[in-house]
Structure 1
Amino acid sequence: MKVRILIIDDDPQYHKLLARHIKSEWADAEVRSIRKTDQSADGPLIPEGVNASDYNAVLLDRAPSGKDGLKSLREFKRRPGFPPVIFIIDRGNELLAVEAVKAGAEDYLLREEINHDRFIASLRSAIRKHKRTSALLSRRQALDEACRFGAVKIRGHRFIRELGSGGISSVYLAEGDKAKGLVVLKVFRLVPEILEAQNSFDRFIQEYELISRIEHPNIVRIFDLGVADDHVYITMEYFKEGSLRAKMKQALPAATALDYLRQIADALMAIHDVGILHRDLKPANVMFREDRSIALIDFGLAKQMTLDQEITGSGEIFGTPYYMSPEQGHAGQVDERSDIYSLGVMVFEMLSGEKPFTADTPMAVIYKHSNTPLPRLSEALAEFQELLDRMLAKNPHDRFQSVEELLGYLDVQWPR
């Protein structure tokens, strides 16, 4: 690698002398001088267009262009990646040399007497130090870039690719240090101050902390929850087998639908037991592990915050609410019976291959959930009609009152 040395000194003859010493050791070395004529009266010591980090070492006079060289040294050392500095002093200013070394100078050089061997040894030491520092800085910058997810830097995670982006969050595939493998990193765009203004940030954190403590085979494993650069993020299990949505292009066998219903209901009972509602049950939030077991993702206030953003002043809701309960679609009070209704919509679709209520507009779908009778299943699926009538009752009081009651009904009608 070509040696590059920057000299900040006003004496052109002294510059030539230093250059001869340097080139006698490194014949192809590039030696650049910055003198008073290169600077404006009140401008920076290193003018625009000169990048000091491109050099292996800087030779700095004690009073370049009438400025305080020691003050300049301290300022240079605060710059990341600034090369090592050899401080030039006059004879009799040895105390200044001590101050310069304390301030971070690699070494000092007497102007009146250049000891060639000592000077070259100092330069070699400075060049080696610059190489090490540059390598560490490059590695740190590479690590910083690897930890960047959009505009947010999240330590302990390395970016692989973006999986998707929605109204309030972006989702990434990453490598996680805690999980020691691939994870899904969900970064929310709503900063804590906004969420607190909505009285939901604290509840959001509390709900996900509760979920992260639940050990259940049908609930996503959450590895980390935090705030970085004023963005909330969640690190969770990665499901390379995909979601239930991909498997519902046509009706599923009844036995398969019942199996999935039981697994989802088991997960719901676990979160309801700690006081959490899902609020966003749909096939895209039911994931498969490699062992074909089901895991529920995307809980609680994540959906509530989405609704806060999706509902405009006129009450219009963007996105088709196929799986919303009547009370949720009309912004009413919801409880665990709302999750049971959403699960019922999924069961209807798994069995029949069709959604129970469709329309041209989101509000029309919401209206149908509240007012249109539930479509009847085919004769071949008639044994499931009572189940769906109770899960999809318009009035919450006519539904199963808890997931425990639902599971009890399933065990009676279709024993495991």
Structure 2
Amino acid sequence: MPPKAIGPYRVLETLGSGGAGTVYRALDRRSNDEVALKLLSTGGPSLDDRAARRLAREFETLADLSHPNVVKVFEAGVHAGQPYLAMELIEGLTLRHYLDVSFNDLHTPTPASRGPLAIRRTEDDDFGSVDSPDEEEDDDVEDDGTFDLNAFAEEAPSEDLASFHGAGDDDSDSDGMLVVDPRRAAPRAAPQPSRPAAPKVADLNRPERMGKLKDAMLQVCEALAYIHGHGLVHRDLKPSNIMVDDDRQVRLMDFGLAKFLADDAGITADGKLVGTYRYMAPEQILGEPLDGRSDLYSLGVILYELLSGRPPFDAKTPHELWRQVLETEPPPLLALNLHGDPQLARVAHRLIRKEPDDRFQTAEEVYEALSE
């Protein structure tokens, strides 16, 4: 049962729920404006008042950010020991779904792919699902916030990324940040042969789709350049955190929430990871300090997926995925999509290099490379 009110906001309905918290459509009783209200989860007991207010003050700094490609944060506060964020309510499509529809269909979306800021029928494959408003409680995430590896092995094959999530595809919302300890011993399996791209991979190269993809990537670069210039790192960049509105304007959201969960909420033991596995840079897996180049790695994984129809690294367990990310090279993108864009393929491969120094160093550099 959602709360009736959170701070000065009257809760209207639940939009989505995940490991990072629950998002509500809410009405600001002061201005009568609707907002997306994200009540952040600590994954355990409520924070004490002092800690919660400190976190709220930190998130209030996000309210100073203003960029056309970044979702606006209005304010932060504390409700029952849990920090919350009030953000602008965006009607739009996730990046992947945006690429899968024609321009003529942008104003007639399907319910499964359309919705406000928080409704993201997600395709990010963080190896588990989280609750949507109309679904039963998800058993993939344990009460203590850790991931159930049994659910991990049941995910859909990665090739399905190229099937464009057609009718009947029950995507799950990977809004949440999942927690796994990378220090657990895991068998070192031999590298598995790469799976071939899906038969529909040729559809990835439709001129309309490629134009939309390139334009969206340029806008994401502008958003990343802005937040990196303010000393922020997104830490959990993935297609479901990239929305496209009716005006085809890209909006980046949820930056900083992974840091909140890992560093401040106290729900992780030393050495545990928080984030979406598939898009983690090697340095994030290793628990090393992150900077903007870690976001650029995630952007490279996104670009690789959207060009080839499959992720650069494909595994059945988190540990095997991390081993591949740290030790192996991805299949050449143009071997998976023979008629893919060579320039975009070169950009993707450089972005996902193991060492940060070997990647593009800034989002501005990526923008220039995409513009060539």
TM-score norm. by structure 2 comes to 0.62
Q: Quote the Cα distance in structure 2 between the aligned partners of 1:155 and 1:401.
A: 41
Q: Quote the Cα distance in structure 2 between the aligned partners of 1:306 and 1:356.
A: 26
Residue pairs, 1:238-277, within 5 angstroms: 238-247=89-98, 249-250=161-162, 251=204, 253-277=209-233
Report the alpha carbon displacement of residue 241 of structure 1 after superposing the two structures with TM.
1.9
Report the alpha carbon displacement of residue 184 of structure 1 after superposing the two structures with TM.
0.9
Residue pairs, 1:112-261, within 5 angstroms: 150=2, 153-177=5-29, 180-190=32-42, 191-193=46-48, 196=51, 202=54, 205-206=57-58, 208-247=59-98, 249-250=161-162, 251=204, 253-261=209-217
Verify the 8 A CA contact 1:311 1:317 in the aligned structure 2: no
Unaligned residue ranges in structure 2 (runs of 5+): 101-160, 163-203
Residue pairs, 1:26-175, within 5 angstroms: 150=2, 153-175=5-27
Change (3 A) 1:159 1:255: same
Match of 1:384 in 2: 344
Verify the 8 A CA contact 1:345 1:355 in the aligned structure 2: yes
Residue pairs, 1:214-363, within 5 angstroms: 214-247=65-98, 249-250=161-162, 251=204, 253-300=209-256, 302-307=257-262, 321-363=277-319
Please give the per-residue CA displacement for 1:211-258, whole angstroms capped at 9, x wherever unaligned.
322221100011221112322111111223232243465337322211
* Secondary structure in structure 2 of the residue aligned to 1:159: strand
* Secondary structure in structure 1 of the residue aligned to 2:93: coil
Report the alpha carbon displacement of residue 317 of structure 1 after superposing the two structures with TM.
5.4
2:355 pairs with 395, 400, 416, which one? Answer: 395
Give the aligned residue type for 1:236: M
Report the alpha carbon displacement of residue 152 of structure 1 after superposing the two structures with TM.
7.6
Q: Which structure has the highest helix share of the two?
A: 1
Give the aligned residue type for 2:259: Q
Change (3 A) 1:319 1:230: closer
* Secondary structure in structure 2 of the residue aligned to 1:380: coil
Q: Quote the Cα distance in structure 2 between the aligned partners of 1:369 and 1:158.
A: 44
Change (3 A) 1:400 1:318: closer
Please give the per-residue CA displacement for 1:87-114, whole angstroms capped at 9, x wherever unaligned.
xxxxxxxxxxxxxxxxxxxxxxxxxxxx
Q: Quote the Cα distance in structure 2 between the aligned partners of 1:319 and 1:195.
A: 26
Change (3 A) 1:155 1:319: closer
Q: How many residues in Structure 1 have an aligned counterpart in Structure 2? A: 259
* Secondary structure in structure 2 of the residue aligned to 1:322: helix
Unaligned residue ranges in structure 1 (runs of 5+): 1-148
Please give the per-residue CA displacement for 1:148-207, whole angstroms capped at 9, x wherever unaligned.
x835842432222112222241111122245643321101233443994xxx9746743x
Give the aligned residue type for 1:361: T
Deviates more, 1:271-280 or 1:284-293: 284-293
* Secondary structure in structure 1 of the residue aligned to 2:92: coil
Higher RCO structure, 1 or 2 (CA under 8 Å, sep 6+): 2
CA RMSD, aligned part only? 2.8
Change (3 A) 1:201 1:279: farther
Q: Quote the Cα distance in structure 1 between the aligned partners of 2:38 and 2:260.
A: 14
Q: Quote the Cα distance in structure 2 between the aligned partners of 1:310 and 1:245.
A: 33
Verify the 8 A CA contact 2:351 2:359 in the aligned structure 1: yes
Q: Quote the Cα distance in structure 2 between the aligned partners of 1:215 and 1:410.
A: 24
Q: Quote the Cα distance in structure 1 between the aligned partners of 2:212 and 2:328.
A: 28
Verify the 8 A CA contact 2:304 2:312 in the aligned structure 1: yes
Verify the 8 A CA contact 1:320 1:362 in the aligned structure 2: no
Give the aligned residue type for 1:296: L
The percent of aligned pairs where both chains have the same amino acid is 34
1:369 pairs with 307, 325, 328, which one? Answer: 325
Please give the per-residue CA displacement for 1:319-359, whole angstroms capped at 9, x wherever unaligned.
75010101101211111100000011111111122111121
Give the aligned residue type for 1:385: A
Verify the 8 A CA contact 1:268 1:403 in the aligned structure 2: yes
Q: Quote the Cα distance in structure 1 between the aligned partners of 2:255 and 2:230.
A: 13
Verify the 8 A CA contact 1:370 1:394 in the aligned structure 2: yes
Larger Rg computed on CA atoms: 1
Report the alpha carbon displacement of residue 316 of structure 1 after superposing the two structures with TM.
6.4
Q: Quote the Cα distance in structure 2 between the aligned partners of 1:393 and 1:280.
A: 18
Report the alpha carbon displacement of residue 313 of structure 1 after superposing the two structures with TM.
5.2
* Secondary structure in structure 1 of the residue aligned to 2:212: helix
